[in-house]
Copies of this chain bind each other. A is one copy, B any other.
Amino acid sequence: MPKKQPNAISPTRAENYPEWYQQVVRASDLAETSPVRGCMVIKPWGYALWENIQRVLDERFKETGHRNAYFPLFIPKSFLEKEAEHVEGFAKECAVVTHHRLEAGPDGGLVPAGELDEPLIVRPTSETIIGAMFSKWVESYRDLPLLINQWANVVRWEMRTRMFLRTTEFLWQEGHTVHASEDEAQAETRQMLEVYRDFARDYMAMPVIPGEKSAAERFPGAVATFSIEAMMQDRKALQAGTSHFLGQNFAKASEIKFLTPEGTLQHAWTTSWGVSTRLLGGLLMTHSDDDGLVLPPRLAPAHIVIMPMTGRAEDPEAVLSYCRRLRDDLRNQQFDGRRVEVELDERDIRGGEKAWQWIKKGIPMRLEVGPRDMADDSVFLGRRDRSPKDKVSVKRSDFVDTVAATLSDIQAALLARAEAHLEKHTRPIDSEVDFRAFFTPDDPEHPEIHGGFALSHWSGDPAVEARIKQELGVTIRCLPLDEHAPGQCPFTGDRSPQRVVWAKAY
């Protein structure tokens, strides 16, 4: 057994995966808990990561014809009630504004006053308020398709919260579109699912399985919900993005009608789709290790940290100048269509402590530069996708010339590793015995270590799904889009149209 790094995350993944997760969030400086129940504070390093996610996705949304807009934070209670399944889905976990001021109470403290005629719900999602606006904006087929996206905060009053994965308030984008035909709305739903899949794979280096949700897991009010499902390192599934075909349900609830070319008035078809700051949790659990966060270069807030080692230098200023010139040269390089981002860390703290802070933050490359490196016109390079001790001396000019290629190499290495993990722990399973064994932890002290994703047949019977969920805590994550071969349900023997992904999930 390798000796444990004294600076590594404690506990390790093997020791206690959930606690390891919290410790990586903390040690990487991504976020921390706040005094407001269930709400987190996204710190600069985490927020910069979110900004990079936003930048890339926003470009994709605009390329596919969507435009951003902004709608009210508050949803009148009566709006939420317009779609029966929808309100049923969100009523149990919503923040309710009932008053519009504070005034001095009988005991001197401030108490809520100015009660509202109608309570306002802090948006858990915006279908109903956006639908109300769309019903004004859409008159004729000429107004369609209407393709809108919103970047916003939303609130769902979760009883058990976990940073990024499940918080009372989170940041997200929600796309809302209106179409003149069912086919077009379905095509939009699938197109945005593909945008999410490509983004997860190409930028987050996180392979995902795109598929349709079972009826039990559908968005409240949707006709069909699609998701991308990723496998975390503990082999649990994370739903990382959803795209909903809403049929005419919300168009009817909000009276979104359009005049057809033939002159008849018809309800439109709508979609909605979203990803959230939950992606940061998925990113963390896909790549990070017992040393801390690991960031894919295409999304990293900074690519390289330069750490001047001036401790034993005769002329510390010369080392600093060398490092500053190196920083400027690196910033003149391009990676993935943007400037190479370099941090020059001149803080006066111990070199080891400094390096470990950056390892824990997941920066793709670390450069140590001391007097000897300078004399040799070299840098001492550590890559975050390799062991902290695996450092090499590289000629300065070679390093600068190949920096973009090296970053691409790290990006590819992370994706390959994640793909291998997903493949290794995804298994076709054709009997109930094997299925139960697959999801039974070997070690009762580590209930998180189970098989992974089972690809098993399912007839579509919700009773089977409910029973497995209750007995094993395993759910159908999705009906993968690329599974078409029929077979036999291992639980009932019924005919099954395709294999589905079963897993424990976040």
Contact = CB atoms under 8 A, between A and B. Distances in A.
A169 B74 contact: yes
B100 A35 contact: no
Contacts of A39: 72-74
A248 to B, nearest CB: 21
A102 B91 contact: yes
Interface string A94-110: 11111111110000011
A120 interface: yes
State the number of copies, please.
2
Interface residues of A, number: 64
Contacts of A92: 101-103
Interface stretch (A75-83, A354-362, A405-413): A75-83
A182 to B, nearest CB: 25
Given A70-B41, A157-B101, A169-B73, A120 B47 contact: no
Nearest to A95: B97
Nearest to A70: B42
A148 interface: yes
Nearest to A277: B70
B35 A79 contact: yes
A101 B97 contact: no
Given A99-B98, A103-B91, A73 B153 contact: yes
B71 A41 contact: yes
A370 B71 CA distance: 39
A93 interface: yes
A69 interface: yes
A133 B41 CA distance: 8
Given A69-B44, A95-B74, A112 B119 contact: yes
Closest 5 CB pairs of A and B: A39-B72, A44-B67, A42-B70, A91-B102, A96-B99
Given A36-B76, A51-B68, A91-B102, 6 more contacts: A34-B72, A36-B72, A40-B72, A44-B69, A92-B102, A142-B347
